[in-house]
Amino acid sequence: MCDKHSDDIYSAYRDELIAAGLLIPLGVGGLYGRSGTFEHIVDQFEYLITRRGAYQKPEVMRFPPMFSRTHYEATGHLKNFPDLIGSIHSFEGNERDHRDMMASFEGERGWTSHLVASDMMLVPAACYPLYPTATGTLPQGGRCVDLKTFVFRHEPSPDPARMQIFRQREYVRLGSADEAFAHRNTWLETGKEMLEAVGLDVAAVVANDPFFGRGGKVMKATQVEQVLKYELVVPICSTEKPTAVSSCNYHLDHFGHAFGILTADGQPAHSACIGFGLERITLALLKKHGFRLETWPREVRQVLEMA
């Protein structure tokens, strides 16, 4: 979104979605309620993910969208993505502090300076809460975990696909380097096939995370050079700048080191994940096939098991 024209493309689609009642604006850029139709598409695509991943016999875990600040600090996220974080603050004062806070309630949000950091952060990626729970030695053959949660990224935008809070569904592999690498590559192919099967024009591209600042440039270059991250991109608002709807990540042994996760033979575990951005996939499907589900192509409705 580098110019006025492209801003218009994004806000035009957002306005259409809102007018159709698919998204319900909540007064902050990138924060929406979702309609029943929107959720139906999310659910049906999720069933597809479940069916395609069943062969792995994954452990299913569901974590809330908040996790421990201490665990957050160990992930390294603060160093790399300070502009995206969401910290949870609460009020811990006495009655007098409360009176002071209420006295500063008018005007420029002065009251928020009376808040203090709680023990929790908002989750920035669905797999982050898993790693601190996996400390110790993995079983032979490692683990495969099915995850889903809302994740937070502080990046208000007119682009309806750039939400500040949205759901990721993930399959995470913890194990040896070979096991993690194979997981990433298998799911890159499977994810691409799944998105093609629902009629989306998908491409796999080598990608980097949005590392912050000047130091981040080196991190981005290294990530691309080592081909650690792929994104599956599809056109939503723009065909020239397709949107990432899924990412396939190989983390090397970053989380194994950070959280003391060891393979059965005592090495720091490697990890990899595929994450499906459920809102973005839904927005891509609505853009491609229209807002009336009953008019979607029959093959697509069949793949999604829509009655």
Name the site residues for Zn ion (rule: CB under 5 A).
Answer: 125, 127, 170, 273, 275
- The residue (of 158 and 275) whose beta carbon lies closer to Zn ion is 275
What minimum distance in Å lies between the beta carbon of 299 and Zn ion?
30
Numbers of helices and strands, H then E, in the chain = 10, 14
What minimum distance in Å lies between the beta carbon of 78 and Zn ion?
17
- The residue (of 182 and 303) whose beta carbon lies closer to Zn ion is 182
- The residue (of 207 and 273) whose beta carbon lies closer to Zn ion is 273
What minimum distance in Å lies between the beta carbon of 170 and Zn ion?
5
Contacts of residue 213, defined as CB under 8 A and 6 or more positions apart, other chains included, come to none
Q: What would the two tokens of residue 40 be? A: 């139906």
Contacts of residue 116, defined as CB under 8 A and 6 or more positions apart, other chains included, come to 89, 90, 91, 92
CA separation for the pair 75, 72 (Å, rounded): 5
- The residue (of 17 and 127) whose beta carbon lies closer to Zn ion is 127
CA separation for the pair 281, 147 (Å, rounded): 17
What minimum distance in Å lies between the beta carbon of 255 and Zn ion?
9
Decide: 274 and 246 in contact? Cβ < 8 Å: yes
Contacts of residue 209, defined as CB under 8 A and 6 or more positions apart, other chains included, come to 80, 81, 219, 220, 223, 229
CA-to-CA separations, 212 to 55, 71, 80, 159, in angstroms, rounded: 38, 20, 6, 21
- The residue (of 134 and 237) whose beta carbon lies closer to Zn ion is 134
Q: How does DSSP classify residue 148?
A: E
What minimum distance in Å lies between the beta carbon of 279 and Zn ion?
16
What minimum distance in Å lies between the beta carbon of 206 and Zn ion?
17
Decide: 285 and 162 in contact? Cβ < 8 Å: no
- The residue (of 170 and 231) whose beta carbon lies closer to Zn ion is 170
What minimum distance in Å lies between the beta carbon of 149 and Zn ion?
11
- The residue (of 68 and 112) whose beta carbon lies closer to Zn ion is 68
